[in-house]
Amino acid sequence: MKRATAQNVAMEAGVSKWTVIRAFTPGASITEASKAKVLEAAERLNYRPNLLARSLATNSTHQVAVLVDDFANPHKLPFLEKLTASLQAEGLVTMLININQHYSHVHAILNADQRQVDAIVLFGTAFRDEMLTDHKLGRGGPPMFVLARDSQIEGVPAISCDAVVAIAEIGEHLLKRGYRRPGFMAGARTLSTALGRRRNFKEFWRTALGVELVEMSAERYSAEAGAQAARDYLSKVAPEDRIDVLMCENDALAFGAMDVARSEFGLRVPDDLAIVGFDNAAPAASPAYGLTTYEQPTDQMVKAAIDMILERAPRETVNFKGELVVRDSA
C-alpha cells in the first residue's frame, strides 16, 4: 500500500493540495476551519509529508555527513553523542559515514555531496590533507569542516583543541614533577596530524632542558597498537636507559602502553614509568588506570562546528583551550 500524498488528502478533504500543504506549514495563511478539515482527512489517510520532496524543492536537506575513520578510539563515542545531540537540537540529522579500507574519504565525500547534504564534517584522523585538496567538489558542493584535528586545507576550516597550549601545559606539569627523560608515542607515523603534537612536545623538551625526545610509533590509534609499541620499546631498552615518562598521542594508546608496562614488565606507574594520554576517555578516570590526560573542550568544539555549519559564525579555523586532568599516572 503506497503512502498518502498531499494530493490524496486534498481530495479526501475537498480542497486543493496547496491548502493541504498550508495546513502542515507553520504560520501559513489558512483558516482554522479548513485546517481542521485537512488535518482530519490527513489523520484518516495517515498522511506524513515527504521530506525528500521538500528537500528537492527547497534545496536543503538538513542532513550533515560526519566522516569517522578511527572507531578504535573510545573517545569517539561520547564525542559523537554530543555532536549528534547538538545537531538534532538544531533540526539537523547525522549521516554517519565509516571511512575504512573499502570506503575512502573521496568516495564518502562524493556520495555525501550527491545526497545534497548541507555540510560535511571530517571527524577523524587518518586522512591526509592531499586527499582532499586533490578532490575539490567545485561549485555547489557542501561546505566542509575538520573537527578535532587541525587542517591546512584551503577553504576547509578546522575546529580543534589548541595543541600548542595543551602540549605546553602537559610539558610544564611533567617538568614540575621532575621527569627528565621523555618519550612520545604517536599513533600513525605517516600522518601530518601526528606531527603537530609530537613536534610541539619535542620542541618543548629541547627548549626546556636541551633533552632529546625518544619517539615511538604505533600502527594505529588503538590500545592493542599502543601495547605493541610499548612492548617493542621496553623489550629493546635496558631499564637504566629507559625514559621516565611517556606521552601518548591519545588515551587508547596510553591504556595499551600502561597495561604492558605493568603486567608484562612489572613496572610501577608512575614510579618506574609515568604515562600521559590525551582525550580523557572514560577508562582514564577509573582507578584501574588513573590516567593523567588532557581533556578537549568538546562542548565548545561541537558548538563552534554547528555555528559554522549554520553560518551563525564565520567559517574559519578556531582553536579552543582544553584542560589538563591530573591523576595518578604522572
Partner DNA sequence: ACATTTCTTGCTACCGGTAGCAAACGTGCA
Partner DNA sequence: TGCACGTTTGCTACCGGTAGCAAGAAATGT
Q: Which residues bind DNA (CB under 7 A)?
A: 2-3, 5-7, 15-19, 21-22, 24-25, 29-31, 33-34, 47, 49-50, 53-54, 56-59
Q: By CB under 8 A, is residue 228 in contact with a copy of itself?
A: no
Q: State which of residues 76, 149, 220, 242 lies at the interface with a copy of itself (CB under 8 A).
A: 76
What does the block give as the cell for 279? 582525550
Burial of 29 (0-12, 13-18, 19+ CB in 10 A): exposed
> Which of DNA, a copy of itself, none has residue 21 at its interface (CB below 5 to 8 Å by kind)?
DNA
The DSSP-derived string for 88-150 is HHTT-EEEEEE-BTTB-HHHHHHHHHHTT-SEEEE--SS--HHHHHH----TTPPPEEEESS-
Q: Which residues pair with residue 62 across a beta bridge?
A: none
In the complex with a copy of itself, which residue's Cβ is closer, 10 or 260? 260
30 binds, among DNA, a copy of itself, none (CB under 5 to 8 A by kind): DNA
The verdict on 283 binding a copy of itself (CB under 8 A) reads yes
Which of 145, 172, 177, 150 lies closest to 163, judged by CA? Answer: 150
The grid cell for 274 is 609515568
111 binds, among a copy of itself, DNA, none (CB under 5 to 8 A by kind): a copy of itself
Cell 602502553 found at = 257
Choose from a copy of itself, DNA, none: what does 188 bind? Cβ within 5-8 Å by kind. none
> Coil, strand or helix: which one is 2?
coil
Binds 110: which of DNA, a copy of itself, none (CB < 5-8 Å by kind):
a copy of itself
Tell me: does residue 158 bind a copy of itself (CB under 8 A). Answer: no
Total Cβ atoms within 10 A of residue 70? 19
With beta carbons less than 8 A apart as the criterion, state whether 13 and 38 touch: yes
Q: Does 215 bind a copy of itself (CB under 8 A)?
A: no
Which residues on neighbouring strands pair with residue 156, listed in sequence order? none
CA atoms 227, 228, 231, 233: torsion sign = negative
- Interface region with a copy of itself, contact rule CB under 8 A, candidates 93-101, 205-213, 229-237, 243-251: 93-101
Q: Which does 77 bind (CB under 5 to 8 A by kind): a copy of itself, DNA, none?
A: a copy of itself
115 binds, among a copy of itself, DNA, none (CB under 5 to 8 A by kind): a copy of itself
State in angstroms the smallest separation of the CB of 201 from a copy of itself.
Answer: 25
Q: Which of 183, 192, 187, 205 is nearest to 158 (CA)?
A: 192
When asked if residue 206 is in the footprint of a copy of itself (CB under 8 A), the reply is: no
User: Please, what is the minimum distance in Å from the beta carbon of residue 10 to DNA?
Assistant: 7
Q: Which residues, other chains included, contact 191 with Cβ-Cβ below 8 Å and sequence gap of 6+?
A: 125, 126, 128
**CA distances for 308 relative to 147, 166, 317, angstroms:** 11, 24, 10
- Which CB atom, from 46 or from 152, has the smaller least distance to a copy of itself? 46
* Residues engaged in binding a copy of itself (CB under 8 A): 1-4, 46, 48-53, 55-56, 61, 63, 66, 71, 74, 76-78, 80-81, 84-85, 88-89, 93-98, 100, 102-103, 110-111, 113-116, 137-141, 223, 255-256, 258-259, 262-263, 282-283, 286-289
